Amino acid sequence: MKPFVAALFATMCLASIGSASAQTAAPAPAPASVTEDFKPSSVNQPGQQYPQVNSQGIARFKVVAPDAQSVKVSLGLGGRGGTVLTKGADGTWTGTTEGPLDEGFHYYHLTVDGGTFNDPGAMNFYGSTRWESGIEIPAHDADFYALKNVPHGRVEQVLFHSPSTNTERRAFVYTPPGYDKNARERYPVLYLQHGWGEDETAWSNQGHANLILDNLIASGKARPFLIVMTYGMTNDVRPGGMASFDIKPFKTVLVDELIPYVDANFRTLADANHRAMAGLSMGGFETKLIAPANLDKFAYIALLSGGTFTVDDVNKTPGFKEKVKLAFVSFGSRELEGRGMGGPPGGGPRVDPRVSAEAVKQAGVNSVFYVSPNTGHEFLTWRRSLRELAPLLFKD
C-alpha cells in the first residue's frame, strides 16, 4: 500500500474498525424482562421460523444440531463472544441475546463445534468476504425502504468487458420507474460503492437502494436517476486484509471502462454535473481517492462512514471549491460516540467530523453532514444516508 493510501485508509478505519464493536454490541442495557412477542426475522429463508426478534429488538436463535458440543451466535454482547446457545432435550440449540440489538440489518454467523457456518434459518448476504447470515431488527422508520405498491424501478445486471483486467465484469444498474417508457429522457447517474468485504450485491440486497429510490421518487422527494453498483476491490484482496490494496485498478475499471459503458448503453446525462460518486466505509475511502481527482467526471461526492472532507482537502484539490456541487459526509451516531474522527493520521489532533464538515462549509463548499441516530457501522446508517443524500443530488 502506498503511504498516501495507507494514511487515508487509517483515517477511514477510525470509523470502520473503531465501530466494529458497535456492530455486535448490545448498546442498551438488558431489559428487566423479555417480552414474549418474538416473530421470525424478515430476512429469514422462506418458511423458516428462526431467528426471531421481539418488540424490544432482542433476537432469539434456534439451531438443530443434536450431536454438537457447542453452538454460538456471533451477535450479542461483542466483547463476550456473542450469544451462547444451550441444548434442549429435543436436540435443538436455543439462545436469546442478552439485550436489544440496534435497529436495522446485522450480519452474523454460527460457530458450531469450532467451525464457522451460516444459520440455516436465515438468508445470506455477502459481507466480511463471505456469504454471511443476516437478521433484521425492525427499525421504527423502516417505511422509507419498505416494498410498497408504488412504481418500481429495476435492478439490472449488466456484464461489461474490462480490457484492463481482461475480464467480463458485473455491475447492477438501478433504472428508475418510467426509464423504459420515457425513451427520450436522459438521466443523471450515481456510482455507489459497497464496503470492505462486500460486493456489488450489497446496496440492493441489504441496502435496499432500489426501494429507497422508488419511495423517494414516488413521494416527489428525489429526482429520478440511475444508480450503478459494481465491485470495488478490483485487485482482489478477498479474503485477505487490505495490505495489497491499490486504488488504481478500480479507478481504471470505474473511470475508463464502466462510466463509458454506462454512458454508451444507458440514456445518461454524461457530464460531471449529472454524475455523483458515493460509497460506504471502504467505498467512501475509494470515493475520496477517485472523485476529487476527477472533478471533470463527478460534481457530487458522498462519504458514508468512510472518512471526511477537511478544509485542507478543499484547499489542496484543484477546482474543489468551484466544481463540487455537494460534499456529503455521514456517520452512524455510535461511530461518533466518545471519539473525534477525520483528523490526520499518525497522532495529530483529532478533528470531530461535525466540526470538519462545518469548516468546509465555511470555506464555501456545499457541505452537508448527517448523523444516523442510534446506529453504528452498519446498513441502517447507510440506508438512511442514501435517503438523506438522494434529494440533494442533481439540482440543476
Q: For the CB of residue 305, give the shortest distance to a second copy in the complex, in Å.
A: 23
Q: For the CB of residue 213, give the shortest distance to a second copy in the complex, in Å.
A: 12
Site string for a second copy, 158-187 (x = CB under 8 A): xxxx------x-----------xx-x----
Site residues for a second copy, 16-45, by CB under 8 A, read 45
Q: From residue 104, how far is each of 11, 54, 380 by CA, in Å?
A: 26, 13, 5
Give CA–CA dist 293/121, Å, rounded. Answer: 45
| Residue 130 touching a second copy (CB under 8 A) | yes
Q: Looking at the DSSP assignment, which residues form a beta bridge with residue 161?
A: 168
Using the Cα atoms of residue 31, residue 37, residue 43 and residue 48 in order, give the sign of their dihedral: positive
Q: For the CB of residue 102, give the shortest distance to a second copy in the complex, in Å.
A: 25
Q: For every residue of 255-283, which 3-state class applies, written as one string?
A: HHHHHHHHHHHCCECCCHHHEEEEEECHH
Q: Identify the residue whose cell numbers are 440455516.
A: 120
Asked if residue 9 lies in contact with residue 285, where contact means CB atoms within 8 angstroms, the answer is yes
| Residue 325 touching a second copy (CB under 8 A) | no
Q: Which segments of the chain does DSSP mark as H helices, in order? A: 3-16, 20-24, 202-205, 209-218, 247-251, 259-265, 282-290, 311-316, 320-323, 333-336, 353-362, 379-389
Tell me the window of 1-9, 12-20, 128-136, 313-321 that interacts with a second copy (CB under 8 A): 128-136
Applying CB under 8 A, among 15, 73, 75, 112 the residue interacting with a second copy is 112
Site residues for a second copy, 264-293, by CB under 8 A, read 265-266
189 φ, ψ to 5°? -135, 135
Give CA–CA dist 28/31, Å, rounded. Answer: 8
Applying CB under 8 A, among 3, 79, 220, 239 the residue interacting with a second copy is 239
Applying CB under 8 A, among 29, 47, 338, 346 the residue interacting with a second copy is 47
Nearer to a second copy, 133 or 372 (CB): 133
Nearer to a second copy, 112 or 380 (CB): 112
Tell me the window of 126-134, 246-254, 270-278, 327-335 that interacts with a second copy (CB under 8 A): 126-134
Applying CB under 8 A, among 21, 86, 157, 315 the residue interacting with a second copy is 157
Residues 6+ apart with CB under 8 A from 151: 177, 178, 214, 217, 218
Kindly list the residues in this chain that would bind a second copy in the complex (CB under 8 A): 45-48, 63-70, 91, 110, 112-118, 120, 123-124, 129-131, 147-149, 152, 154-161, 168, 180-181, 183, 199, 204, 210, 236, 238-240, 265-266
